[in-house]
Amino acid sequence: MKVLAYDAQKCTGARECEVTCAQTWFKVQDVAKSSIRISVKDDGFAAQFCIQCGKCIEVCPTEALYYNKQGIVLLKKDLCVGCMSCVGFCPYGVMYFAPEEALAFKCVACGQCVKACPQEALKIVELDEASTDVWNLRF
Amino acid sequence: MTNKIIRHVLAEFPYQTPRIERGYANQTLYVNVGTGEIKAKPVSDEMKLKFTGGKGFDLWLLWHAVHDDTKWDSPENEIVISTGPCGGITQYPGSGKSLVTTVSPTTEIITDSNAGGHFGPLLKFSGWDAIEVQGIAEKDVMVIVDAIEGKVTIEEMPDAPNDTHLLGRWLYDVLAEKPQEKYYIAMVSAGTGAEHSLLGCLNFSLYDRKRQDVRYKQAARGGPGTVLRQKHIKALVVRAQPFKGDANHPADMERIARVGADIQREIATWDSVQNRMRNRGTSYLVEIMSDYDLLPVNNFKFGSHPQARDINGAYWETRVTQGLPDGCWYGCTVACAHAVDGFELQTGPYKGHKVIVDGPEYETIGAIGSTCGIFDPDAILELNFYCDTYGIDTISYGNTISFLMECYEVGILDQEKTGGLELTFGNAAASLEILHQLARGEGLGKIAALGVRKAKTYVIEHYGADPQFVQDIGMENKGMEYSMYMGKESLAQQGGYALTNKGPQHDEAWLIFMDQVNNQIPTFEDKAEALHYFPMWRTWFGLCGFCKLPWNDVVDPKNSKSAEPAKIPHHVQNYVDIFSAVTGREVDINEIIAMSERVYNFQRVFNIRLGKGLREHDYPPYRGVGPVTEEEYESRRERYDQQLREWLGLDPDAMTLQEKMAAHRHYRTERYERLMDAVYERRGWTRNGVPTVEKLKALGIDFPEVLAVVEKKLRAED
Ligand code: SF4
Ligand code: SF4
């Protein structure tokens, strides 16, 4: 699977990724619409985003969520009824909800944030299975 | 497939689906299957303000449809179904319930019953806040609300099977032009049992996308399925357009989403270490109830049984299919709507078929299981399946069988009268045989088909049974059979069952733990307050389209530090938020209680209008209050003896068993009378249980025709 990864050592908190994500998928600057969230820690920064574990697929009652061939969890918008089951049951709190569309959204490892990061702190990496290691990978 | 099926359209009404605004379609659908009349009725602002939706709308429509002397089988009686303004919200768990009302064949007053499934929400999304169905068709018909074609039809479909599990599959195949269209179809049906019995339930379907099959949830209480089949309706069907999570067009989606995210995380965090509803549904209650001596066993003689462990939650967790999103509407992650898949039937017309058994839920396990002395899980599943597909209420059926079992054990019935069945407690094969007889309208099934109240009359009239004894042991009040909690040691629950509008179903008040276990409501006034607040609070769920379980079956432990843990204040606030955010009508808990009080009092007056609804109708059978038989007393002698000492200052050692039982009976009966007085006063009713004119005025439901009913009764009291 090709997933997003983050190197905390490189991050300077520019938050270009958040803005780019919101802009790419929602055409807004509001970072509440970003599927990647940067937070400040005592010793620097941390990132939260989907690791593609697929737990949400199990709880979705409409079969709107599925794995594509690359191992990325995608959402079929026409099937999603905005029930927020996936939002509440995502073990990592990285499934989000857009009230104005009444749809769930998440990181699909599209790589736009990778291009936008001035510090090269984000990368698309190839993994055998989903792991929270991607939140702090050295590369 | 559609072309080959005979669809004989008797009446057709074209319409356009209006935009749903803030939870309302702003119109209701009237269908008369007798005359073929179909029309839309507008929903006024006053109707929304005073009756909210759901059961409130049902009652308002039904009130105008029936006469003072309407009986359940009168053509003007209706089946009315409505969800409510929050029905169909997907972001808050438990927001897809439908409320049914009708004049009941067993209680002969208003019954209301709720079910999950997709019918109510899809009906609203198809443009209708409620459907009322009146009249009696000549031949079996379907009523089809087709939002895709933009029409409502009454149709004869002579090939349609009758029993629900077959009918559902058949109808979904007929109506869905593409497989995905099944997602948006829902139906309400009964079955052959409902044709031959007063205990008919309604099955509310949903399409289970994971199982790729039709599932059912039941609105069972008070015989609405019997009314459906008596009207010669096989199914009410809705074929909706695909919809999105904002189909209700709420006033404030962001506020809904905030609360929705909170509750979803609360469920995700706590359910697995609390009741495990997501794994076993309400069956978790079996063990707790048996431990506290509250699980009805052998027609409510006893409250526990060692074999209860064979049918407890831990067992059902191994039996129901795990890991599926078993909510009865989208977004319910409490997900108690479990099923046993691939169950092979051992008896009856479908013997050998492998089927999905929806459930079993706690009430069903208690009713067709423990209270009949049956602890065999396979028998419970088989009974559960057949009750559902025949369209029979499991609670009423189980009670009726356990009543007949006790009649058999005391000799009122014998093998000659049972057609050779040895109808002892625990005989699952006999219960199954009677169920199949009932569906065919034969044998002892014809007596079981009557429900407890009418079966009592039958054994008194035909078999010379002692009326007092039969009255004492038959677990019904107002003609409705009891749901599955033993109330003998909780006075508040005795009232919670019998001081109700429709009859003894715990959806109005479940106070056993507050009262008996935690002793939080010791005085008559405390109990009366609880019997005001909780019935009103719980009524409100049925006005809005909510399920009660997400309110109190999964709770962040921080609740125990709140001012009133029994009310679960942080969840109450969630509901305040959701209702306000959907409708744009900013409410608080006081207004919530007021909304319910309007509908509750209206229903009480409705019952009075139909000739009941008074104090004399609010008495429980003594089996629900104290020990009827020596066997019962002896089984809990220590408890009862101690109560004589503590409550009455008597010395049980100096009394005969009969004296002790009489002392209990006198004390417990008198105590119940005092509870009635306190509750009526708190509710603003006279000592006869009639809402006063002042009360109705204060609530704003002093419509002339409502006052007329009450004033007539009050004059008679003077
Ligand atoms: S919000 Fe959409 S994707 Fe998430 S569980 Fe509900 S239907 Fe599935
Ligand atoms: S808790 Fe159970 S009954 Fe209530 S809405 Fe959820 S699945 Fe349905």
Residue A125 DSSP label: E
Non-local (6+) Cβ contacts of B47 within 8 A are: B57, B60
Q: What is the Cα B128 distance to its own chain's centre?
A: 23
* pLDDT tens digits along B326-363: 999 999 999 999 999 999 999 999 999 999 999 999 99
Provide the pLDDT for residue B419: 97
Task: Give yes or no for a contact between B382 and B346, defined as CB atoms under 8 angstroms apart.
Answer: yes
Residue B514 DSSP label: I
Residue B201: what are its φ and ψ, rounded to 5°? -105, 165
The closest-lying atom of ligand 1 relative to the alpha carbon of residue A104 is 1
Please state, in angstroms and as integers, the Cα–Cα distance from residue B54 to each residue in B22, B59, B329, following that order: 15, 9, 16
Of B434, B460, B459, B461, which Cα lies nearest the Cα of B448?
Answer: B434
Instruction: Kindly tell me if the per-residue pLDDT of B2 is higher than 70.
Output: no
Look-up of token digits 């006081």: B590
Instruction: Verify whether ligand 2 is closer than 6 Å to residue B33 (CB atom).
Output: no
| CA B487/CA B516 separation, integer angstroms | 9
- The dihedral region occupied by B197, where left means phi > 0, alpha psi between -120 and 50, and beta the remainder, is beta
Quote the tokens at residue B584. Answer: 């744009």
| CA B418/CA B400 separation, integer angstroms | 14
Test B333 with A88 for CB contact under 8 angstroms.
yes
Instruction: Kindly tell me if the per-residue pLDDT of B287 is higher than 70.
Output: yes
Look-up of token digits 């506020």: B255
What is the torsion angle, in degrees rounded to the nearest 10, for the CA atoms of residue B510, residue B514, residue B518 and residue B521?
-140
Residue of A nearest to B332 (CA): A85
Chain A partners of B209 at a C-beta cutoff of 8 Å?
61-63
The rounded percent of chain B whose pLDDT value lies above 70 is 100
> pTM of the predicted model, to two decimals?
0.97
Test B91 with A83 for CB contact under 8 angstroms.
yes
Residue scoring higher pLDDT (A57 or B718): A57
The rounded percent of chain A whose pLDDT value lies above 90 is 98
3-state secondary structure B68-117: CCCCCCCCCCEEEEECCCCCCCCCCCCCCCEEEEEECCCCCCEEEEEECC
Look-up of token digits 């603003």: B684
* pLDDT tens digits along B182-225: 999 999 999 999 999 999 999 999 999 999 999 999 999 999 99
- The dihedral region occupied by A27, where left means phi > 0, alpha psi between -120 and 50, and beta the remainder, is left
Q: What is the Cα B114 distance to its own chain's centre?
A: 5
In three-state secondary structure terms, B63 is helix
Question: If one looks up domain A1-49+107-122 in CATH, what number appears?
Answer: 3.30.70.20
* pLDDT tens digits along B256-266: 999 999 999 99
Residue of A nearest to B278 (CA): A59
Instruction: Verify whether ligand 1 is closer than 6 Å to residue A60 (CB atom).
Output: yes
Chain B partners of A83 at a C-beta cutoff of 8 Å?
90-91, 245, 330-331
Quote the tokens at residue A59. Answer: 């709880």
List strand residue ranges (DSSP E) for B476-523, in order: 476-477, 480-481
Which residues of chain A does CATH 3.30.70.20 include?
1-49+107-122, 52-91
Task: Give yes or no for a contact between B280 and B338, defined as CB atoms under 8 angstroms apart.
Answer: yes
ipTM above 0.90, yes or no: yes
CB atoms within 10 A of CB A86: 27
Chain A partners of B330 at a C-beta cutoff of 8 Å?
61-62, 81, 83
CA distance B286 to chain A (A): 26
Instruction: Kindly tell me if the per-residue pLDDT of B517 is higher than 90.
Output: no
Non-local (6+) Cβ contacts of A43 within 8 A are: none
Of B397, B454, B505, B396, which Cα lies nearest the Cα of B108?
Answer: B454
| CA B32/CA B339 separation, integer angstroms | 35
Kindly state the average pLDDT of the residues B359-380. 97
Residues belonging to chain B with any Cβ–Cβ distance to chain A shorter than 8 Å: 90-91, 183, 209-210, 242-246, 253-254, 256-257, 260-261, 263-265, 267-268, 323, 325, 327, 330-331, 333
Q: What is the mean pLDDT of chain B?
A: 97
Q: What is the Cα A18 distance to its own chain's centre?
A: 10
Q: Which residues pair with B659 in a beta bridge?
A: none
Test A81 with B90 for CB contact under 8 angstroms.
yes
**Residue A104 C-alpha to ligand 1 middle, in angstroms?**
6
Chain A partners of B243 at a C-beta cutoff of 8 Å?
81
Provide the pLDDT for residue B4: 80
The rounded percent of chain A whose pLDDT value lies above 70 is 100
**Beta-sheet strand order (sheet of B130-134):** B38-42, B27-32, B130-134, B78-82, B98-103, B110-115
CA distance B202 to chain A (A): 24
Instruction: Verify whether ligand 2 is closer than 6 Å to residue B176 (CB atom).
Output: no
Q: How many CA atoms lie within 13 A of B267 on its CB side?
A: 32
Residue B59: what are its φ and ψ, rounded to 5°? -70, -40
Number of H helices, E strands in chain B: 28, 17
**Residue A5 C-alpha to ligand 2 middle, in angstroms?**
38
| CA B29/CA B353 separation, integer angstroms | 38
* pLDDT tens digits along A30-44: 999 999 999 999 999
| CA B333/CA A61 separation, integer angstroms | 9
Non-local (6+) Cβ contacts of B462 within 8 A are: none
Instruction: Verify whether ligand 1 is closer than 6 Å to residue A73 (CB atom).
Output: no
In three-state secondary structure terms, A4 is strand
Pick from B328, B330, B552, B554 the residue to mutate for probing ligand 2's pocket: most ligand atoms within 8 Å of its CB: B328
Of A119, A113, A116, which Cα lies nearest the Cα of A4?
Answer: A113
* pLDDT tens digits along B396-437: 999 999 999 999 999 999 999 999 999 999 999 999 999 999
- The dihedral region occupied by B501, where left means phi > 0, alpha psi between -120 and 50, and beta the remainder, is alpha
Helix or strand (DSSP H, E) at A96: strand A96-98
Number of H helices, E strands in chain A: 4, 8
Pick from B218, B334, B538 the residue to mutate for probing ligand 2's pocket: most ligand atoms within 8 Å of its CB: B334
Kindly state the average pLDDT of the residues A33-60. 96
Residue with CA closest to ligand 1 atom 5: A60
Instruction: Verify whether ligand 1 is closer than 6 Å to residue A19 (CB atom).
Output: no
* pLDDT tens digits along B109-125: 999 999 999 999 999 99
The helix-helix angle for B524-544 and B569-583 (nearest 10°) equals: 30
Provide the pLDDT for residue B447: 98
| Domains assigned to chain B | 8-239 (3.60.9.10), 275-481 (1.10.569.10), 491-554+588-619+682-717 (1.10.599.10)
Task: Give yes or no for a contact between B699 and B597, defined as CB atoms under 8 angstroms apart.
Answer: yes
Provide the pLDDT for residue B509: 86
Task: Determine whether domain A52-91 maps to CATH 3.10.105.10.
Answer: no
Instruction: Verify whether ligand 1 is closer than 6 Å to residue A54 (CB atom).
Output: no
Please state, in angstroms and as integers, the Cα–Cα distance from residue B227 to each residue in B237, B308, B384, B391, following that order: 16, 35, 21, 11
Of B346, B347, B345, which Cα lies nearest the Cα of B356?
Answer: B345
CB pairs under 8 A between A and B: 81
Test B330 with A89 for CB contact under 8 angstroms.
no
Non-local (6+) Cβ contacts of B626 within 8 A are: B488, B664, B665, B668
Which of A81, A96, A100 should we substitute to test contact with B (largest number of B Cβ atoms within 10 Å)? Answer: A81
* pLDDT tens digits along B121-139: 999 999 999 999 999 999 9
* pLDDT tens digits along A83-118: 999 999 999 999 999 999 999 999 999 999 999 999
Does residue A61 belong to the interface with chain B, where contact is any CB pair within 8 Å?
A: yes
| CA B349/CA B347 separation, integer angstroms | 7
Provide the pLDDT for residue B1: 47
